[in-house]
């Protein structure tokens, strides 16, 4: 089925709205636009679709609450603005959807919530339960305690993690741009892979937002590799959403992987954020790629990052190419001591019994 038809027939859709879309470039959220967008989303819900809204804007709203005339650069002020703006942001969405007889719920998450399997499942269960009850989740980064999204990304990557968590059919990254444009400023209608768009990246993050096209391409890459068709397109006027969801040629469409990876593999390879990197030699690389083997300490060349037993790590070749993500059986400091050693020497070096593998093949997901 063509990708635009998939969006048209999608049952579960994640809609990400950036700060620049919600404000229209002004100093405060555009309440009229929020109401218009709520009406468009309510129409989709009435048509039987389940919608999750990933809404930025808390910092932008909080700037007004705190009397700031420009986005602060200090993290403590950014967090304060987010804390002050979050209740106002939810109030605006609640009022807008109440006018459409739709109920909403606030869900605040951090990127790290997706890194541990049980927390990831808790997020999924919460969101799917809300959708089953006919409630629209309004998701945002918990910026008052987390710092990564508040400084980088404006919820773009977060929206791809949410889309994967709930098994969405489509992810719509709505922005102030018409889509991704080529050198002649024409919208690129479709690409096979998100990374094809990197050559067209421009420094287009707004004064209020922190995203820009790079983080949207990162989000699209993760979502499409999880089998979720993704579109980067205009969020204004609100009627654009209706055009997108009825299959009209709006925005830039990124093709998706046809066969969705198993849920646990997708979490390990796409949703969880690696806490460290293990570089392996060519022999270990061949063993992983060609024989589906486990990673042994003997094949480890170098280790970076700080991670513990059971944490997600990225495995790279000596050429710097990402090979896989996996769950480490050793903490980083232990692996630094035993890298390059045969497996039977690990207990003597570590002073305890140790598994023969650094990453077992059952806890490893290869990149394409």
Task: Answer for the pair 294, 329: CB distance below 8 angstroms, yes or no.
Answer: no
Domain check: are 133 and 193 in the same one?
yes
Question: What does DSSP say about strands 135-141 and 50-55: parallel, antiparallel, or unpaired?
Answer: parallel
Which one of 45-59, 130-144, 350-364 scores highest in mean pLDDT? Answer: 45-59
Q: Pick from 314, 234, 300, 305: which is nearest to 269 by CA?
A: 314
Tokens 């930025």 found at: 56
CB 59 within 8 A of CB 29: no
- My answer on whether 139 and 254 are in the same domain is yes
Q: Output the domain CATH number for residue 23.
A: 3.40.1160.10
* Number of CB atoms found within 10 A of residue 223's CB: 29
Specify the number of domains making up the chain: 2
Domain C-terminal end among 265, 288, 305: 265
Which pLDDT value is given to residue 70? 81
* pLDDT for 189 beyond 50: yes
> Pick from 265, 295, 314: which residue ends a domain?
265
Q: Are residues 314 and 186 in the same domain?
A: no
Q: Which structural domain, as residue segments, surrounds residue 283?
A: 274-366
Q: What is the pLDDT of residue 27?
A: 72
Query: Residue 244, CB half-sphere, CA atoms under 13 Å: how many?
Result: 34
Terminal C-alpha separation, the chain:
23
pLDDT of residue 367: 83
CATH code for the domain of 323: 2.30.130.10
Question: Both 43 and 134 in a single domain?
Answer: yes
pLDDT tens digits, one per residue of 238-296: 999 999 999 999 999 999 877 788 888 888 887 888 999 999 999 999 999 999 999 99
pLDDT (tens digit, 9 = 90+) per residue, 308-337? 998 999 999 999 999 999 999 999 999 999
In 3D space, the residue among 281, 265, 277, 280 whose CA is nearest the CA of residue 307 turns out to be 277
Question: For residue range 197-213, what is the model confidence (pLDDT) as tens digits?
Answer: 988 887 654 444 445 78
Are residues 110 and 18 both part of a single domain?
yes
Q: What angle do CA 271, 273, 277 make, to 5 degrees?
A: 135
The answer on 319 and 261 residing in a single domain is: no
Mean pLDDT of the chain: 89
326 and 200 part of one domain: no
pLDDT at 246: 95
Residues 86 and 123 in one domain: yes
Looking only at Cα atoms, what is the longest distance across the chain?
A: 68
pLDDT at 50: 98
pLDDT in tens, 99-108: 999 999 999 9
Domain edge (last residue) among 217, 233, 265: 265
Which position has the higher pLDDT, 78 or 47?
47
Dist. CA 201–CA 146, nearest whole Å: 27
Do 115 and 146 share a domain, yes or no?
yes
How far is C-alpha 341 from the geometric centre of its chain's CA atoms? 37
């Amino acid at each position: 089925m063509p990708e635009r038809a998939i969006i048209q027939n999608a049952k579960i859709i994640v809609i990400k709205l950036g700060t620049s879309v919600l404000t229209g470039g002004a100093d405060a959220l555009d309440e009229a636009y929020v109401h218009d967008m709520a009406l468009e989303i309510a129409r989709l819900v009435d048509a039987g679709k389940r919608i999750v809204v990933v809404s930025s804007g808390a910092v932008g709203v909080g700037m007004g609450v705190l009397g700031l005339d420009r986005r602060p650069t200090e993290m403590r002020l950014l967090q304060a603005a987010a804390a002050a703006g979050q209740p106002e942001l939810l109030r605006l969405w609640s009022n807008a959807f109440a006018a459409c007889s739709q109920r909403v719920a606030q869900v605040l998450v951090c990127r790290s919530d997706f890194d541990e399997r049980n927390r990831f499942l808790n997020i999924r269960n919460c969101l799917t339960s809300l959708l089953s009850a006919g409630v629209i989740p309004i998701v945002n980064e918990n910026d008052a305690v987390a710092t990564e999204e508040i400084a980088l990304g404006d919820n773009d990557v977060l929206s791809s993690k949410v889309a994967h968590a709930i098994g969405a059919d489509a992810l719509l990254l709505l922005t102030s741009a018409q889509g991704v444009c080529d050198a002649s400023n024409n919208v690129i209608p479709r690409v096979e892979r998100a990374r094809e768009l990197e050559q067209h990246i421009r420094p287009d993050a707004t004064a209020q937002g922190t995203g820009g096209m790079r983080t949207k391409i990162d989000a699209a890459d993760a979502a499409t590799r999880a089998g979720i068709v993704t579109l980067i397109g205009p969020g204004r006027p609100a009627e654009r959403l209706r055009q997108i969801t009825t299959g009209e040629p709006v925005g830039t469409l990124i093709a998706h992987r046809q066969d969705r990876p198993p849920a646990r593999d997708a979490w390990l390879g796409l949703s969880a954020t690696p806490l460290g990197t293990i570089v392996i030699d060519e022999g270990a690389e061949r063993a992983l790629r060609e024989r589906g083997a486990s990673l042994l300490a003997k094949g480890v060349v170098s280790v970076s990052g700080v991670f513990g037993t059971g944490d997600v790590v990225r495995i790279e070749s000596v050429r710097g190419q990402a090979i896989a993500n996996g769950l480490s059986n050793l903490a980083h400091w232990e692996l630094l001591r035993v890298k390059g050693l045969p497996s039977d020497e690990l207990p003597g070096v570590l002073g305890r019994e140790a598994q023969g593998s650094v990453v077992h093949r059952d806890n490893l997901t290869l990149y394409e």
